[in-house]
């Protein structure tokens, strides 16, 4: 009888416990289901693109954790003069070697087409280890912090190059590349925005804590990388793209995918030297051999990336020493950061909506828009104009990059497209480094800085706009199939 009463009493308790547990889990499980439904929509779940979207979100969250830890140590924890010296040291120790390493990243990863999942997982695990390494030096700002920061930078850019090469392999049916890239990019932006306050909260506990959080995130990312479909590692039908000099207009352009005659063809024999340079009688196509649009698009995007690197470093110092009127340095930087992030998200959304209609015209238009705002910011330097330039730079960079992706998809033959993405991303990262170097070397004069920003964009417009508009009028050649 006592046993029966005990069971009767335990039943309601168990039901109550399950109800409470379900109520506690519901917000998290519901959020997870909502995220999974969004990332796997429109066939992205079946193709594997949904998993790449989630992986890129993890990558963005981990990177922002490390950024918060480094900014708090290198920038905010010391007076302005010391901060400038520390950041200068950071740039010297990290970015100078990166200028040397950046040209190697794309070609090196391009030689490992069968290990893309392993490469992305390796970049995650390496950053997890480097985050732990930095956690011991972040409080003191010791010299050992800087080589580790260089390693994080290189691994992050290597992941970006591989990710760009992977996206074309995971396109769902009737899903454009520009739409896929916009969805991946937007997921990274949203994850960065969600992780930033968490990292700031961890920073209040202690300087190493954001790095501990980054380590945990990157370990999870390494595991997630191996859940991507095996076709990510397949290089079937791919060849390497090379940057070659363009032929003059009017010259006969050989079909890069068609077999070409070589000495000895009449006898059916082929010289050994020729065999070593060509495979199956086919020349390796290059980016310039498929029309001018991609090259001019790269030039315009390089200007946007250089502007991004310039504004990050120049405004970080300028607003630390000369905050926006009536505001603290942290709030001033926050205003600029939020403006840039909002502009980037808006550009990504607009790029997906436009579906890459007339990408040459879009790139030329947004470059002109950014140049106009930069000129106004130089002439009418103020809080509003600085925030407007940051938002415009984020918007135009995102929209220009998505349009470049669309042109690569349209103009570059499929068998060299992934290689083209890897190499173009490397070039754009080098432009970002160059812009950052200019930003750190300038005197802290707002009007001068905005004038230099306008000059960077004017240089890009001079190099690319005329060619982009001319290509749009003529129509770009579509890749031919042998």
Cα separation, 28 vs 25, whole angstroms: 6
Give me the mean pLDDT over the 299-306 stretch. Answer: 94
Whether the per-residue pLDDT at 236 is higher than 60: the answer is no
More confident residue, 244 or 142: 142
Cα separation, 40 vs 47, whole angstroms: 9
Compute the mean pLDDT over every residue in the chain, rounded to the nearest whole number: 75
Q: Are the beta carbons of 145 and 314 closer than 8 angstroms?
A: no
pTM strictly above 0.75: no
Please choose, from the candidates 256, 230, 265, 269, the residue with its C-alpha nearest in 3D space to the C-alpha of residue 115.
230
Rounded to whole angstroms, the maximal C-alpha distance in the chain is 103
Instruction: Determine which of 244-253, 340-349, 451-460 has the lowest per-residue pLDDT on average.
Output: 244-253
Cα separation, 208 vs 69, whole angstroms: 7
Whole-number pLDDT of residue 254:
38
Question: Could you count the other beta carbons within 10 Å of the beta carbon of residue 102?
Answer: 24
Question: Could you count the other beta carbons within 10 Å of the beta carbon of residue 462?
Answer: 11
Q: How far apart, in Å, do the first and last CA atoms of the chain sit?
A: 86
DSSP letter string, 239-303: ---B--PPPPTTSPPPPTTS----TTGGGT---HHHHHH-BTTBPPPBGGGG-HHHHHHHHHHHH
Whole-number pLDDT of residue 28:
42
Give 91-141 pLDDT, tens digit per residue. 666 666 666 666 666 666 666 666 788 889 999 999 999 999 888 777 666
User: Which residues contact residue 365 at a Cβ distance below 8 angstroms, ignoring those fewer than 6 apart?
Assistant: none
Whether the per-residue pLDDT at 11 is higher than 90: the answer is no
Whole-number pLDDT of residue 127:
93
**Averaging pLDDT over each range in 142-151, 293-302, 418-427, 429-438, which range is the top one?**
293-302
Cα separation, 258 vs 482, whole angstroms: 5
**Averaging pLDDT over each range in 184-188, 219-223, 320-324, 351-355, which range is the top one?**
219-223
Cα separation, 38 vs 460, whole angstroms: 37
Please choose, from the candidates 233, 453, 168, 442, the residue with its C-alpha nearest in 3D space to the C-alpha of residue 336.
453
Phi, psi of 279 (to 5 degrees): -115, 125
Whole-number pLDDT of residue 429:
78
- HSE on the CB side for 277, CA within 13 Å? 9
Whole-number pLDDT of residue 257:
34
More confident residue, 329 or 53: 53
Whole-number pLDDT of residue 256:
35
Whether the per-residue pLDDT at 12 is higher than 60: the answer is yes
pLDDT bucket at 14, cuts 50 / 70 / 90? low
User: Which residues contact residue 71 at a Cβ distance below 8 angstroms, ignoring those fewer than 6 apart?
Assistant: none
Instruction: Determine which of 92-101, 212-221, 338-347 has the lowest per-residue pLDDT on average.
Output: 92-101
Whole-number pLDDT of residue 71:
74
**Averaging pLDDT over each range in 207-216, 308-317, 426-435, 470-479, which range is the top one?**
207-216
Give 42-66 pLDDT, tens digit per residue. 566 677 888 899 999 999 999 999 9
pLDDT bucket at 246, cuts 50 / 70 / 90? very low
Phi, psi of 282 (to 5 degrees): -105, 135
Question: Could you count the other beta carbons within 10 Å of the beta carbon of residue 414?
Answer: 12
Cα separation, 283 vs 239, whole angstroms: 10
More confident residue, 360 or 285: 360
- Per DSSP, the three-state class of 137 is coil
pLDDT bucket at 282, cuts 50 / 70 / 90? very low
Whole-number pLDDT of residue 165:
77
């Amino acid at each position: 009888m006592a046993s029966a009463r005990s069971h009767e009493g335990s039943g309601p308790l168990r039901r109550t416990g399950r109800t409470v547990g379900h109520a506690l889990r519901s917000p998290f499980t519901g959020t997870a289901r909502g995220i999974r439904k969004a990332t796997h929509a429109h066939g992205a779940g079946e193709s594997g693109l949904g998993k790449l979207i989630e992986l890129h979100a993890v990558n963005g969250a981990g990177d922002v954790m490390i950024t918060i830890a480094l900014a708090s140590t290198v920038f905010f924890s010391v007076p302005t003069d010391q901060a400038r010296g520390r950041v200068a040291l950071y740039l010297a120790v990290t970015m100078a070697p990166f200028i040397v390493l950046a040209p190697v990243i794309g070609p090196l990863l391009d030689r490992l087409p069968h290990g893309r999942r392993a490469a992305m997982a390796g970049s995650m695990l390496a950053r997890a280890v480097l985050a732990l390494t930095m956690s011991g030096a972040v409080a003191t700002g010791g010299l050992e912090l800087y080589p580790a920061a260089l390693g994080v930078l290189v691994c992050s850019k290597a992941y970006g190059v591989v990710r760009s090469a992977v996206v074309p392999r995971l396109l769902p049916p009737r899903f454009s590349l520009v739409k896929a890239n916009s969805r991946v990019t937007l997921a990274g932006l949203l994850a960065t925005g969600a992780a930033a306050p968490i990292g700031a909260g961890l920073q209040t506990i202690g300087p190493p804590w954001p790095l501990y959080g980054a380590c945990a995130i990157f370990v999870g990312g390494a595991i997630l990388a191996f859940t991507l479909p095996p076709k990510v590692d397949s290089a079937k039908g791919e060849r390497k793209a090379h940057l070659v000099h363009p032929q003059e207009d009017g010259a006969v352009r050989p079909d890069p995918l068609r077999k070409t005659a070589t000495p000895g063809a009449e006898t059916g024999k082929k010289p050994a030297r020729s065999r070593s340079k060509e495979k199956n009688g086919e020349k390796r196509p290059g980016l310039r051999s498929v029309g001018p649009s991609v090259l001019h698009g790269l030039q315009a995007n390089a200007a946007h990336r250089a502007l991004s690197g310039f504004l990050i470093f120049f405004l970080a110092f300028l607003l630390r020493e000369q905050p926006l009127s009536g505001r603290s340095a942290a709030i001033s930087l926050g205003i600029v950061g939020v403006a840039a992030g909002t502009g980037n998200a808006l550009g990504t959304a607009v790029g997906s909506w436009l579906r890459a209609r007339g990408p040459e015209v879009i790139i030329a238009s947004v470059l002109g828009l950014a140049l106009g705002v930069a000129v106004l910011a130089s002439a009418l330097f103020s809080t509003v104009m600085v925030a407007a330039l940051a938002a415009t730079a984020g918007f135009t960079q995102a929209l220009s990059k998505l349009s470049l992706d669309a042109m690569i998809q349209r103009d570059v033959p499929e068998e060299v497209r992934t290689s083209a993405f890897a190499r173009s991303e490397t070039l754009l990262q080098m432009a970002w480094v160059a812009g950052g170097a200019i930003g750190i070397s300038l005197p802290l004069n707002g009007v001068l800085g905005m004038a230099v920003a306008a000059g960077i964009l004017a240089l890009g417009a001079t190099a690319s706009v005329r060619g982009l508009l001319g290509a749009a009028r003529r129509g770009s050649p579509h890749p031919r199939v042998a």
